Structure 1
């Protein structure tokens, strides 16, 4: 096949720079930034974080081609900060947001582990039934009348 090896989509080559900044000469306080070995996931999060900042006049990204593992983000500021400084600040805030989300996620699942020990022998009905119910009519997961489907 012509498809590149999977690791080539996220592992930097020797001497390859992960970020390349190109100053925009036509628009004041603007830059085009190429971020290598990343995709829409990071591009969209960065764009959203940048747009939430008051110094930003414009922020947008694009992936030029799906087979090329990079995206381009364009940033224009109001002149109080450079695009590079705003990008660094946005990345720092994004890392903080992801860390907070991870902590909340772990905390909620630690509560689930504590709540999951209640019941007969440490098992709950939710582990027996993948849909979280204890079965309809007490027939072991089947619908009333012994059927494994519901007639309307």
Structure 2
């Protein structure tokens, strides 16, 4: 059980199925537009989620309120790695709707996501966070994630290149 603020009901979390593709697409679109990131339309994201949710190496966890309305989601991908017997997980996105933040929904989503990928034998989870996003970095650090290479004093960096 996760400690939530007084009077806040714990959200229901569940693994999304293909029928949830449009909901996941709308949540990702809201996330991207809120932070002014380039984004396809919610409809196109929904179409892509329909394909992704059919894959065994993609996990989407939805948080819902008592009425069954989506309050947030987490998107994870799994990939093979020689470092563990099981796959490596990448937390691609974790989003909670504005106005519902600081109520423990993100913690519930992250905890449920970890539980789901652990049950698939995942040996490690990666999360990329913008350096200037101090609140998000603190959130992940509070949950045991680090950006310091174990056994060293230097930070790990993520490089990317779009094609």
Q: Tell me the TM-score normalized by structure 1.
A: 0.25
The structure that has the greater radius of gyration is 1
Q: Tell me the TM-score normalized by structure 2.
A: 0.24
Greater relative contact order, per chain length (Cα 8 Å cut-off, separation 6+):
2
